[in-house]
Amino acid sequence: MSIGAMDGPSPNHQRSATGVAAETWSDTVVGLDLPRLTRYLAVRLPGSIRPPLRAMPLPGGRSNLSYELCDADGRVLVLRRPPLPLGPGGHVPVPAALAAPAPETSRSDIRREYQVIRAIHQTHGRAGRVPVAEPYLLCQDTSVIGAPFFVTAKAIGTVYRSEKQCAALSPSQARAVSHGLLDILVALHLLDVRATGLADYARTDQFLIRQVDRWDRLHAASASREVPRLARLAAALRAGVPANGRIAILHGDYRLENVVFDLASVGRVNAVLDWEAATIGDPLVDLGLLLTFWEGPDQPLNPIASAHTRTRGFPSKRQLADRYATRTGFDLSRIGWYIALNHYRVAGLLEVLHYRVRHGLPVPPGLEKAGSWVAPLVENGLSALRDNL
């Protein structure tokens, strides 16, 4: 999962992860071999680009990297590739679970992200389409830029990531943005998985207990200190796994920061971004993550929430959950468990950063003190289990 929600503001267009400010176009960009890429695209997308090709890294999250590509006529495409290494690991060994993915894993992840985008782009569900950037091609030949990649259209619009952006919205506009965000999640979860061709995309048996197992392993691998009440949260999650056989397509990182909204029609979603965590499983895991990152005026301190979502007009967590339940018909009587699971999940990712800081290993800028956010997350997770939201 990306933890890009903890980054600063980004420009009003599609964005992802390089940590580099998108200021100028360049014919030399880290992570791309533009001459080779230009020749490759000229053959694979004939008539779509006119050399020379320039590129610009898009700032934001910490997962797969996105670049805008601009040709001589000003036409713009977006390229996605695996992340670049953070830096040398130094003499302190990093647990295997924290290491960068092997090249074959990166290639598979890029292929899988492209596969799900393409499938969703081609499918119309009973609650409408789920908008994604139009996919153009997938390249698994690492000789082109040094890594697998795919190319899509550019998603035009704005990404609401800063408190300043959201404060400029009227209450009715804030509600429209929130409802647009929620309704696209509903549309995704109501897609017929078989109709998309993604029925075999991932294992679905014992999905929830495997999620608990996964985050248990992450916590064990990144353990470098005693976190108060972490074991209690883990035990409570394992003891209370819901019995739910519902299966849907999950985005895996569905948040306000991963959605492009239309500039002219406030609340209309033009594209959902960053699908590398997509899977097939219980849809309430997705909803639980959205609510985990949702700040509310009546909620306890949430150090990783999108603080701008508590500005005027944005609905509460309860209002979002009620809208989801009404539109899907799904039973949310155990939603607190799913919210707690996502607190446990994010706490594990932050412990990875704490481990790296403690051992002098590089972390993304601005996340050097992320370890201090873990204890509040654990407490909020326990509160979600107790209060069910």
Q: Contact 306/178 with Cβ under 8 angstroms?
A: no
- Is residue 249 over pLDDT 60? yes
Helix (H, G, I), strand (E, B) or coil at 378: helix
Amino acid (one-letter) located at 110? I
To which residue do tokens 């014919």 refer? 27
Contact predicate 387/23, CB 8 Å: no
What is the distance between the alpha carbons of residues 381 and 388, in angstroms, rounded to a whole number?
10
Average pLDDT value for residue range 359-363: 89
DSSP letters spanning 335-372: HHHHHHHHHHHHHHHHHHHHHHHHTT----TT-TTGGG
Say yes or no to pLDDT of 139 above 50.
yes
Cis peptide upstream of residue 52 (ω within 30 degrees of 0): yes
Please give the full DSSP string across 19-32, using - where no structure is assigned.
S------BS--TT-
Does the structure show a pLDDT above 70 at 17?
Answer: no
Residue 59 pLDDT: 66
pLDDT-derived band at 87, boundaries 50, 70, 90:
low
Check residue 19 and give its pLDDT: 35
Residue 298: its pLDDT value, please?
58
259 falls in which pLDDT band (50, 70, 90)? very high
Q: What is the dihedral of CA 329, 330, 336, 342, to 10 degrees?
A: -120
What is the predicted pLDDT for the residue at 287?
Answer: 98
The residue-averaged pLDDT of 196-203 equals 93
pLDDT bracket for residue 351 (50, 70, 90): very high
User: Residue 297 has what pLDDT?
Assistant: 58
Q: How far is CA 191 from the centre of its chain?
A: 19
In the prediction, which pLDDT does 16 show? 35
The token pair that represents 74 in the structure block: 């000003």
Q: Stretch 58-72: mean pLDDT, rounded?
A: 82
Residue of 159, 345, 170, 338 lying closest to 262 (CA atoms)? 159
Decide if 19 contacts 159 (C-beta within 8 A): no
Helix (H, G, I), strand (E, B) or coil at 179: helix
Confirm if 106 and 64 have CB atoms less than 8 A apart: no
* Region of poorest pLDDT, from 12-16, 35-39, 252-256, 374-378: 12-16
In this structure, are residues 79 and 67 in contact, taking their beta carbons and an 8 Å threshold?
yes
Measured between alpha carbons, how far is residue 9 from residues 5, 80, 152, 166, 250 in Å?
10, 20, 23, 11, 25
Question: Do the Cβ atoms of 53 and 34 come closer than 8 Å?
Answer: yes
The answer to whether residue 84 scores a pLDDT higher than 60 is yes
On whether the 163-387 domain is CATH 3.90.1200.10, my answer is yes
Sign of the CA dihedral with 365 first, then 9, 259, and 166 last: positive
Q: Residue 10 and residue 306: Cα distance in Å, rounded? A: 14
Residue 332 in this model has a pLDDT that exceeds 50:
yes
Residues forming a β-bridge with 248: 281
Residues 298-309, mean pLDDT to the nearest whole number = 66
pLDDT of residue 244: 79
- Average pLDDT (289-313) is 75
Mean pLDDT calculated for residue range 119-133: 93
pLDDT at 64 over 90: no
pLDDT value at 367 more than 90: no
The single-letter DSSP state of residue 33 is -
Q: Which residue has the tokens 């654990």?
A: 378
pLDDT on residue 385: 96
State the DSSP string of 229-255.
THHHHHHHHHHT-------EEE-SS--
Rounded to the nearest integer, the mean pLDDT of the chain is: 86
Residues 5, 9, 12, CA angle at the centre, nearest 5°?
Answer: 110
Q: Which helix (H) or strand (E) holds 326?
A: helix 317-328
Q: What is the average pLDDT across 363-370?
A: 85
- 299-320: b or e for each residue (b if 16 or more CB lie within 10 Å)? beebbbbbebbbbebbbbbeeb
Residue 99, pLDDT above cutoff 90: no
Give the pLDDT confidence score for residue 299 in this predicted structure.
60
Q: Which residue has the higher pLDDT, 302 or 313?
A: 313
The residue with tokens 């992340």 is 83
Residue spans per domain, the chain: 4-153, 163-387
Side chain identity, residue 254? Y
Instruction: Report the alpha-carbon distance of residue 380 to residue 321 in Å, rounded.
Output: 17
**pLDDT given at position 106:** 52
24 φ, ψ (degrees, to nearest 5): -140, 155
Q: Which of 4-8, 59-63, 350-354 has the lowest mean pLDDT?
A: 4-8
**d(C-alpha 374, C-alpha 222), whole Å:** 13
- What does the pLDDT read at residue 163? 83
Predicted confidence at residue 15, as pLDDT, reads: 39
